[in-house]
Amino acid sequence: MEDYNNIYERMKHSGVRHYLMICLEHSFHLLLNGHIEDAKRQLSVAESWRHGKESAAQYQRIKLIHAYRSLLDYIIWCDKKFTHSNTEYPISGDNQDMHNYFRQASVNLKEILKSPGIWDPFILSYVEILHVLVPSHELMLEYSSLLLQSEKRSNIQKALGVVLEMLDFACWRSNLDAWKRLKSIIQKLQLEDNWKDVVSGQMAARKDWWPALHFTSFHASKDSEENPELMEVKAPLTKILCPGRPNAQVHSLTGNQRRVNWREELKEKIEIVSSRFTIKNKAEMLL
């Protein structure tokens, strides 16, 4: 490896016109051999390199190098995140280090997307970072669609997780597109022998509170009146996502679940009543 590094260094200084592209090629060589930190270091040096008056071509190359350096920030963050999650006693300093890479990658990738061009690998990396940071972001619906189009089994399972995390948030609760996407994902998963294990694994942490969030008599009544198509999509998913409940969409509620739906029903009734009165009527009621 040292011999290769020496050759690349000689090539860089033999012709300054090709310095940036040789740096990029050098970083690719290091990356392919598993030296990610060294590859990033090469690109960081190239980013700060200047020679004479900056030409349009040189500007484009620097922007490309900046994009790849940001991508390496993302790769390093993913690697550290995986290591951190599999360490029983993580070092406190690792959290800050990991956060720094996360911040650098997210800020720089977002900046790259402002420039015209084909940035598919960088866009995907940015969306994945966004998924970690804001799982309820509207881009997650498009992200799940891209994952669903993949032939990789792991991507289909990942799409399931992305959509379920979206539906963990009340803002997506009545979104027909999100539920249709979930239905499509499960239909594709059902082609696999272990699809039930995959679904139950994702729903394990949700089984106690998802029925109250999505599958109650209140939701069924509301959907039937306001969005019958949504009710049709959700109905078959109820038994798949919440097995063991005869009819999770109309199951009887207890304890906290009753309080959740009681508050929802009360809020809606107040909104309906309020909409029937003018400001004058309300003023008269207060007198």
Quick: pLDDT tens for 39-52.
888 888 887 776 66
CB 52 within 8 A of CB 74: no
Question: Residue 269: its pLDDT value, please?
Answer: 43
Alpha carbon distance, N-terminus to C-terminus of the chain: 86
With a cut of 70, say whether residue 175 has pLDDT above it.
yes
pLDDT digits (tens, 9 = 90+) for 219-252: 888 888 999 999 999 999 999 999 876 553 444 3
Structure tokens at 60: 């484009």
User: How much is the average pLDDT of 256-276?
Assistant: 46
Q: How many C-alpha atoms does 252 have within 13 Å on its Cβ side?
A: 1
Q: Which helix (H) or strand (E) holds 146?
A: helix 139-149
Between residues 276 and 108, the one the model is more confident about: 108
Whether the Cβ atoms of residue 199 and residue 186 lie closer than 8 Å to each other: yes
Residue 255 clears pLDDT 50, i.e. is over it: no
Long-range contact pairs involving 10-17 (C-beta distance under 8 Å, separation at least 24): 16/51
Query: Helix (H, G, I), strand (E, B), or coil: what is residue 7?
Result: helix
Q: How confident is the model at residue 133, as a pLDDT? A: 79
Contact 272, 265 (CB under 8 A): no
- With contact defined as beta carbons under 8 Å apart, do 109 and 77 qualify? no
Please answer whether residues 121 and 157 qualify as being in contact, where contact means their C-beta atoms are separated by less than 8 angstroms. Answer: no
Query: Residue 260: which pLDDT band, with cuts at 50, 70 and 90?
Result: very low
Q: Determine contact, residues 117/89, Cβ cutoff 8 Å.
A: no
With cut-offs at 50, 70 and 90, classify the pLDDT of residue 118: low
Residue 196 is predicted with a pLDDT of: 95
* pLDDT of 200 strictly over 90: yes
Specify the pTM.
0.62
The region, left, alpha or beta by phi > 0 then psi within -120 to 50, assigned to residue 34 is: left
Query: Mean pLDDT score of the chain, rounded to an integer?
Result: 77
Angle, vertex CA 162, rays to CA 145 and CA 180, nearest 5:
55
pLDDT of residue 94: 66
User: How confident is residue 124, by pLDDT bands cut at 50, 70 and 90?
Assistant: confident
Where does the pLDDT of residue 93 fall: very low under 50, low under 70, confident under 90, or very high at 90 and above?
A: low
Residue 52 DSSP symbol: S
Percent of the chain surpassing pLDDT 70: 71
For the segment 65-83, what is each residue's pLDDT rounded down to a tens digit?
Answer: 888 888 888 888 888 777 7
